[in-house]
Chain A
């Protein structure tokens, strides 16, 4: 069974609009962490943001924030005021507390339109 699901294979968003990229996860471990990454067309993987399951507040890093809804098992990435440079693949990933594996979803390709 898939542990990390990203249901949007692709998205088109107008520049300067906010973007929400969906991520749902499946785990029975009470301790886990969720990661988001960006992969531009150049191919490098860039870490964006991390949320721990016990963190009281939603994580934020600049224009990136994580909308963490534990009961729904969702960890959506929100990008405020999108820019052309945000066009990329975005991956959600999870690490369960019982081991050190970090497992990825299949990604969402985001296109920002001028």
Chain B
């Protein structure tokens, strides 16, 4: 158990509203990731972080922003939610260099109506 929690676990929101998803880890991992999972697409990387205040874009970053002001928290914000952002969002951490294992949070199911 890598001690990763995500909140909220489920959210329904309306188009145009801002939404923030939180990923929290308890084991001081440097690398954190946000993915979205949609049928037929597998997991697609949105943003990732390699340290406090160090973040970079992934494959599908448009419409999303992130912040990491503390090691343990990685926030994903949808500035103005759209229906195309309805998805399951997963946070993950990477545990290098000894093991190179990536562990995931339980996911957040977001529905934008």
Give bound CA distance, A14 to B56, whole Å: 43
Q: Mark A84-114, 1 if CB is under 8 A from B, else 0.
A: 0000000101010001111111110000000
Interface size on A, residues (CB 8 A): 22
Q: Name the CB-closest residue of B to A55.
A: B100
Number of A-B pairs whose CB atoms are under 8 Å?
A: 58
Please state if B92 and A45 are interface contacts (CB–CB under 8 Å): yes
Which residues of chain A are near B100, meaning CB under 8 Å?
A: 33, 35, 50, 52
B102 interface contact, C-beta 8 A: yes
- A-contacting residues, B81-108, CB 8 Å: 88, 90, 92, 94, 99-104, 106-107
Q: State which of B33, B48, B92, B99 has its C-beta within 8 Å of the C-beta of A50.
A: B99
Please state if A104 and B31 are interface contacts (CB–CB under 8 Å): no
Please state if B94 and A100 are interface contacts (CB–CB under 8 Å): yes
Size category, B interface = 20 to 34
CB distance from A26 to the nearest CB of B (A): 14
Q: Name the CB-closest residue of B to A43.
A: B107
CB distance from B23 to the nearest CB of A (A): 13
A44 interface contact, C-beta 8 A: yes
A12 interface contact, C-beta 8 A: no
Q: Name the CB-closest residue of A to B88.
A: A43
Give bound CA distance, A103 to B57, whole Å: 12
Which residues of chain A are near B35, meaning CB under 8 Å?
A: 104
Please state if A50 and B56 are interface contacts (CB–CB under 8 Å): no
Please state if B102 and A102 are interface contacts (CB–CB under 8 Å): yes
- B-contacting residues, A21-80, CB 8 Å: 33, 35, 37, 43-47, 50, 52
Q: Which residues of A contact B (CB under 8 A)?
A: 33, 35, 37, 43-47, 50, 52, 91, 93, 95, 99-107
Ranked 10 nearest A-B pairs via Cβ: A45-B104, A106-B42, A104-B43, A50-B100, A104-B42, A107-B42, A47-B101, A100-B50, A47-B102, A33-B100
Q: Which residues of B contact A (CB under 8 A)?
A: 31, 33, 35, 40-45, 48, 50, 56, 58-59, 88, 90, 92, 94, 99-104, 106-107
Name 12 extra pairs, CB < 8 A, besides A43-B88, A101-B56: A44-B104, A47-B102, A47-B104, A50-B99, A91-B43, A93-B43, A95-B94, A100-B48, A100-B56, A102-B48, A102-B102, A103-B45
